[in-house]
Structure 1
C-alpha cells in the first residue's frame, strides 16, 4: 500500500498543495514552521480521521477558511482508489471514495493505514494512561475499522451515564430516592457493559499479540538488550482474568463490578468502572514480575526512547501480518535519537513499501533513507 498522489485545500498552512509521491522513501525537508509535518499529518488523518498532533479538527483548517480537504490516491494490490475527507470543525465531516459520498465519514478509516513515529511518542512511556489506551485503540481501529463505531458508542454511554450519576447522586444526598433515575441507570449499566466488554476483549487480544513483538523490537533498538528485557501487560482497573476473551463472560464481570461500585459512583458522580480507566503497563528487566520495574519513573531517557520506538515498531509488524504494509511516517524523529538508535530504526524500516520522513536538514535523514526529497519552505513544496 502506498499513496501516489496527495492534494490539500486549506489544510493547516496550505492554500493548495498537489504532489505526486513515489513508493519507497520520500523525505520532506525544511526548517521548523515551514509546513513539512502538515503534509504527513494529512495522510495520517485520512487513515484514522484523527491527528497525531492535536485533539480537535479546528487547527487543521487554514485560518480564514471554513473547511479543509484532504485527498489522496491510494494504491493497493495494483488498484488505485481516491479517498477524500472534507473537514468541517464543529460540524459533521464528509467522506468520499472515488467521488462517491459516503453515508458515514468513518467508513474511510483503515482504507489507508499509517504508523507514525514522532517526538511526542515519549508520552506513550511518560504520559498518563489515556495516551496508552489511545495507542491500543488506534491499532484496534486500523485492524478492525468497525470498532470505531464501538468506541464512539462507548464514549456516548460514558457521557450519558456520568450525567445520570451526578443527577441521581445529588438527589440521594438531598434525601430523595430517585427510583426512576436509578432504574434508568440500570439501562445505561447494560449499555456500558455491552460496549465496554467488546472494547476490553479487543484490547486484551491486541496487547497479547503485541507483547512478543515489543520484546523483539526493544532488543533491536536498545544496545545489548534481549527480547525478554521489555514487557507489556494490559492492566484492567477491576478484577478480571486477562486471558478472558469471551464477550458474554466479560459483560457479566462488568455488570457485577458496576453493581459493587454503584454507591461509590453515586457519591462521586463519575464512572469508576470500565476500560476507560485501564492502563498498559510497560516494564523493563528480566526475571519474575517482582524483579521488573515500570518504565515510567525508572527508565533513563535513552531506555524510554527505546521502549517508545519498540511500541511503534511492534505496531508496524502487527499491521503488516496480513500482508499489507502500512505507510510509515517518521516525523522529525531522527533529530531526537542518538546515532545508534537512528541507524537501527532506519535499517529496519527501509524496505517498507512507503516511508515518509520529515527533517529540518538533509543530514538528519540517515543514509539508508536517502530517497526522493522535497524541499519545504515558505508554503511551497518543491521536488529537489
Structure 2
C-alpha cells in the first residue's frame, strides 16, 4: 500500500498543497513551525478520522476558513482509490470515494492504513489510560473497520446511560416502589443490554489485538533495547472479576463463544456495581474504563521506566502494530513524525531497519542529518515566510530528480491548538 498523491486545502497552515508521492522513503525537512507535520497529520486523519495531536477537528481548519479538505489517492495491490474527507466546523464532516459521496465518513476507513510514530507517543507509556485505549482502538479499527461503528454505538449508549444515572438517581433509588422508579429501572436495563452487547465486542477485539500484537511488541523491544528487561503487554479489564480468567490469557486460543461470555460477564458486573453507579451518577465499568498494562520485567513501565526505556516501549508498540498489520495484509504506510531527533543511535538504527522494509515511509525532520541515510532517498523541503497578507509556505524538491509538487503554496498563519512542527 502506498499514497500516490495527497492534496490539502485549508488544512492547518496549508491553504493549498498538492504533492505526488511514490513508494519508498520521502523526507520532509524544514524548521519547526513551518507545517511539515501537518502533511503527515492529514494522511493519518484519512486513515483514522482523528488527529494524533488534538482531540477535536476544529483546530485542523485553517484560520479564517470554513472547512478543510484532505484528499489521498491510495494504491493497494494494484487497485487505486481516491478518498476525500471534508472537515467542517460546526457541521457534520463529509467523505467521498472516487468522487462518489460516502454515506458516512467512517465508510472510508480501511482504504488507507497508516502507522504513525510521533513525539506524542510517549504518552502511551507515561500518560493516562485513555492514551493506551486509543492505541488499541486504532489497531482494532485498522484490522476490522466495522469496529468504528461499534465504538460509535457504544459511546452513544454510554452517554445515554450515564445521563440517566446522573439525572434519574432519585427515581432509580426508589426503584419499583414508585412508577417513575420502575420506569427508570426498565430504561436502565435497556441501556445495560445495549452497553453490554457493544462493549463485549470492543473488549473481545481488544483482547485479541493484545494477544496478537504482544509478541511483536516484545520482539521489537528486545531488538531496540537488548540490555533492558523484557517487555510485556496485558489487557486490564474492568469487568474482569465477573468473567472467566482464562479469557484474558494471551497464550490461549480464542473460542467462538468468547463474545457471548464477555457480554454475560459485562451484565453481571453491571449488576454488581449498580448501587454505586446510581450513587455516583456515572458508568463505572466497560471498555471506557479499561487499560493496557505495560510492564518491564516485573515493574510497570509507567513510573519505573527510564526516559530511554519509555521511548523504546512507545516505539515498540508502533512497530508491533506495523508488523501485525503487514502480516495480515498490505504494508501500512509508515509515518515518522520528527522522531529521529528524539532517539539515540541504537534506536535510530532499529527504527530505520524496519522503515526501509516498508512499501512507503514518510518522514519529517527539522534537520536532514537526523534522518538515517538509508531513508534519505527523496527529500522535500518545507519553508514558510510572512507576507503582508498571511504566511506563505513552499514545498520544493531538494534534488533534480523531482516529480511535480506544484507551485509555491500560500497559507494563512496557523494559530490552531497544537501548533506546527
Report TM bin, short chain: over 0.9
Structure 1 distance, partners of 2:321, 2:174, is 50
Q: Does 1:216 align with 2:219?
A: yes
Structure 2 distance, partners of 1:365, 1:242, is 45
Q: Does 1:98 align with 2:98?
A: yes
Look up the SS of the partner of 1:63 in the other structure: coil
Shift of residue 170, structure 1, vs aligned partner: 3.6
Equivalent residue, structure 1, for 2:59: 59
Look up the SS of the partner of 2:234 in the other structure: strand
Q: Which runs of 5+ in 1 are unaligned?
A: 286-291
Shift of residue 89, structure 1, vs aligned partner: 2.3
Which moves more between the two structures, 79-88 or 310-319? 79-88
Which moves more between the two structures, 91-100 or 217-226? 217-226
What TM-score results when the alignment is normalised by the length of structure 1?
0.95
CA RMSD after TM alignment: 1.4
Paired residues of 1:217 and 1:310 also in contact (CA < 8 A):
yes
1:248 equivalent among 246, 260, 276: 260
Which moves more between the two structures, 67-76 or 176-185? 176-185
Look up the SS of the partner of 2:115 in the other structure: strand
Equivalent residue runs for 1:156-195 within 5 Å: 156-171=156-171, 177=178, 178-195=181-198
Query: Which 4+ residue blocks in structure 1 deviate beyond 6 angstroms?
Result: 173-176
Shift of residue 174, structure 1, vs aligned partner: 8.5
Shift of residue 10, structure 1, vs aligned partner: 0.7
Q: Which runs of 5+ in 2 are unaligned?
A: 248-254, 385-392, 399-421
Look up the SS of the partner of 1:297 in the other structure: helix
Equivalent residue runs for 1:127-138 within 5 Å: 127-138=127-138
Paired residues of 1:373 and 1:383 also in contact (CA < 8 A):
yes
Equivalent residue, structure 1, for 2:270: 258
Structure 1 distance, partners of 2:152, 2:202, is 11
Shift of residue 264, structure 1, vs aligned partner: 0.4
What TM-score results when the alignment is normalised by the length of structure 2?
0.87
Q: Does 1:302 align with 2:308?
A: yes
2:326 equivalent among 287, 310, 320: 320
Structure 1 distance, partners of 2:310, 2:377, is 29
Which moves more between the two structures, 142-151 or 89-98? 89-98
Equivalent residue, structure 2, for 1:289: none
Equivalent residue, structure 1, for 2:208: 205
Q: Does 1:237 align with 2:243?
A: no
Structure 1 distance, partners of 2:70, 2:288, is 31
Structure 1 distance, partners of 2:330, 2:22, is 17
Paired residues of 1:204 and 1:243 also in contact (CA < 8 A):
no
Paired residues of 2:125 and 2:302 also in contact (CA < 8 A):
yes
Equivalent residue, structure 2, for 1:16: 16
Look up the SS of the partner of 1:85 in the other structure: strand
Structure 2 distance, partners of 1:172, 1:165, is 8
Shift of residue 366, structure 1, vs aligned partner: 1.0
Q: Does 1:360 align with 2:366?
A: yes
CA 79–202 in structure 1, closer or farther in 2 if over 3 Å, else same: same
1:293-321 CA distance string (max 9 Å, x none):
00001111111111111100000001101
1:311-360 CA distance string (max 9 Å, x none):
00000001101230000000001111111111111122212100000000
Structure 1 distance, partners of 2:288, 2:338, is 31
2:394 equivalent among 374, 380, 383: 380
Structure 2 distance, partners of 1:259, 1:112, is 41
Total equivalences in the alignment: 376
Paired residues of 1:234 and 1:242 also in contact (CA < 8 A):
no
Equivalent residue, structure 1, for 2:415: none
1:209-245 CA distance string (max 9 Å, x none):
111111100011113347xx00111010131335435
